[in-house]
Structure 1
Amino acid sequence: MASRRALHFVYKIGDRKATAKFYRDVLGMKVLRHEEFDEGCKASCNGPYDGKWSKTMIGYGAEDNHFVCELTYNYGVSQYEMGNDFLGMHIDSQEAVERAKKNDWPVKDEGDHSVLEAPGGYKFIINHKPQPADKDPVQQVVLASSNLEKSVEYWKDLAGMTVYSKTDKSATLGYCETQAKLVLQDIGGEVNHAKAFGRIAFSAPGGDLPGIEQKMKDANQTIITPYISLDTPGKATVQVVILADPDGHEICFVGDEGFRQLSAVDPKGDELLNEAMKKDKSDEWFAKKGGKAAA
């Protein structure tokens, strides 16, 4: 379905400063927009937390035509237990490997690619190819599956994705040949999301969302957040539906029209993130109390 787009993957982060350094100085991504919130998201975009949090969208280009990363930071939470659900984001960028070595960031070379680990444990598989200037360097996101046939059936028949390739152990799916792909990899066991679980997001025409929700209802699939409108102060209102696949991977479908307005690049995004990190005194406060809390 070419009318649908792969948008981003949501990562929970505990160390905002170290994470910002990794994404900016190592991966070479740019801050696209940054927002601060005083209370938890109605669609639990920041996870099951009710307190103050921030969202930073970061990537290689505008969200209209790039698959990006959403970094959610919950004030007061320093780390999240990693599960086996997220298996990596693949990026074409030999330059990122060179930047990692220049910044003394650990690099695990594995033939035609290297593996970099972000603060918190998320893995990035960096292909030894020049970082393209005319298209998105992000190639795919790999998620674990406990039953590949069941997973493919869900994403193909219910989520409307095209299967581009499939083996006994993995399947590559997407909405468009030129977009970042979703790869499902059979891990031969139960998928554990632990506390660091993320969420993958796609856009669809706003009028499609009620139908997507109804299709999942008819198939007795999990709906985490029924069709809802979300407001961002001073920005567009967007409609979303939050689902979960058979392994519990969270999926956000958002109305494309509102999201394109909401996701416009903010020239002050980098400055806003730096300002928020400078004002954040939680490290000092928790140090006096014996350390931050781990989720």
Structure 2
Amino acid sequence: MCFHLTCSTCNGPYDGKWSKTMVGFGPEDDHFVAELTYNYGVGEYRIGNDFLGLTLQSSQAVSNAKRLNWPLTQVEDHLYLTEAPGGYCFYIIDKEQPDCDPVQKVSLAVSDLQRSVHYWSALLGMKVIEKNEDKKIALMGFSDNQCKLELQDIGGAVDHGTAFGRIAFSCPRDQLADIEALMKKEKQKILTPLLSLDTPGKATVEVVILADPDGHEICFVGDEAFRQLSAVDPKGNELLDEAMAADKSNEWFAKHNKQKASA
């Protein structure tokens, strides 16, 4: 999130302040993990049609939602739809949580299925696991036992709104330059050329960030350093609880008769 120069002081102590939290069912080495970014000075985002949902298998999650009176809509046998507070869709399979990662797939919208399948398979190396021409859906993945990527042709333009995200994959560090070179050769979009990102007190990682034909951002990060950076923090839950309790941004904006910005 970038603020205009004219707003450099309008949000007081919350100007430019943000928080990043990684959440998942296990370590990033073998689990899909979501990165949640919270901007203290932003009160609303416009959701696009790019992210169609995340599907996970957990009867416990269904039970939790019912116990907490969280809205659930049954879309078919053993499958429920629910929404996160930000409006993102989650599909929950009402079956016992597997021993491996319960996150089954992430679904993204595309405007041309054939073009997108070519990009993700021929250029990025994903395997096509399943394809349904009638439903205009393709299920893809780098491995049979990892979270899958589902591409669904929506028959129109993909709108990323202002709340769009990025999907990231780790790979051996020495493959990053080859990925960048291939994208240059194929005249595909490179948003961030190969570079090093420093994290104070932690490992320096190398990344290259791409965009597929519909503008979905894709980050490839060197695995060796990333494994150090992504180690589970045993105090993660405690730190998150403390940060949420300490967030007084709503009170500050109300006291100063201000509204949080819309992104």
- TM-score (normalised: structure 2): 0.91
In the alignment, the residues of structure 2 paired with residue 232 and residue 72 of structure 1 have an alpha-carbon distance, to the nearest angstrom, of: 17
Aligned partner (choices 147, 153, 160) of residue 118 of structure 2: 153
Which structure 1 residue ranges, 4+ long, deviate > 4 Å from structure 2? none
Displacement after TM superposition at 1:252 (Å): 0.7
Aligned partner (choices 221, 229, 239) of residue 262 of structure 1: 229
1:148-172 superposed Cα distances (whole Å, 9 cap, x missing partner)? 0000000011111111111210111
Displacement after TM superposition at 1:145 (Å): 0.7
Aligned partner (choices 197, 209, 219) of residue 252 of structure 1: 219
Aligned partner (choices 48, 55, 58) of residue 20 of structure 2: 55
**Larger-Rg structure:** 2
Task: For 1:186-265, list aligned pairs within 5 A.
Answer: 186-265=153-232
Say whether the 8 Å CA contact 2:16–2:41 is kept in structure 1: no
In the alignment, the residues of structure 2 paired with residue 230 and residue 93 of structure 1 have an alpha-carbon distance, to the nearest angstrom, of: 36
Q: Which amino acid aligns with 1:226?
A: P
SS of match in other structure, 1:99: helix
In the alignment, the residues of structure 1 paired with residue 243 and residue 90 of structure 2 have an alpha-carbon distance, to the nearest angstrom, of: 26
Q: Which amino acid aligns with 1:259?
A: F
1:126-163 superposed Cα distances (whole Å, 9 cap, x missing partner)? 0121112x210000000001000000000011111111
Q: Which amino acid aligns with 1:261?
A: Q
Aligned residue for 1:114?
80
Aligned residue for 2:152?
185
Aligned residue for 1:293?
261
Displacement after TM superposition at 1:73 (Å): 1.0
In the alignment, the residues of structure 1 paired with residue 21 and residue 172 of structure 2 have an alpha-carbon distance, to the nearest angstrom, of: 24
Aligned residue for 1:82?
47
In the alignment, the residues of structure 2 paired with residue 233 and residue 274 of structure 1 have an alpha-carbon distance, to the nearest angstrom, of: 23
Q: Does 1 or 2 have the higher relative contact order (CA < 8 Å, sep 6+)?
A: 1
Give structure 1 stretches of 5+ with no counterpart.
1-11, 13-49
Q: Which amino acid aligns with 2:115?
A: K
Question: How many matched pairs?
Answer: 246
Displacement after TM superposition at 1:293 (Å): 1.3
The answer on 1:128 being equivalent to 2:94 is yes
Aligned partner (choices 58, 63, 73) of residue 93 of structure 1: 58
In the alignment, the residues of structure 1 paired with residue 113 and residue 262 of structure 2 have an alpha-carbon distance, to the nearest angstrom, of: 32
Aligned residue for 1:16?
none
Aligned residue for 1:72?
37
Q: Which amino acid aligns with 1:120?
A: G
Q: Once the two structures are aligned, what percentage of the paired residues are identical?
A: 63
Displacement after TM superposition at 1:115 (Å): 0.5
Aligned residue for 2:242?
275
Give structure 2 stretches of 5+ with no counterpart.
2-14
In the alignment, the residues of structure 2 paired with residue 167 and residue 109 of structure 1 have an alpha-carbon distance, to the nearest angstrom, of: 23
In the alignment, the residues of structure 1 paired with residue 187 and residue 116 of structure 2 have an alpha-carbon distance, to the nearest angstrom, of: 15
Say whether the 8 Å CA contact 2:107–2:149 is kept in structure 1: yes
Q: Which amino acid aligns with 2:258?
A: G
Displacement after TM superposition at 1:281 (Å): 1.7
Aligned residue for 1:144?
109
Q: CA RMSD in A?
A: 1.3
Displacement after TM superposition at 1:290 (Å): 3.3
1:256-287 superposed Cα distances (whole Å, 9 cap, x missing partner)? 00111100001111111122222222111112
In the alignment, the residues of structure 1 paired with residue 180 and residue 17 of structure 2 have an alpha-carbon distance, to the nearest angstrom, of: 29
In the alignment, the residues of structure 2 paired with residue 111 and residue 185 of structure 1 have an alpha-carbon distance, to the nearest angstrom, of: 19
SS of match in other structure, 1:254: strand
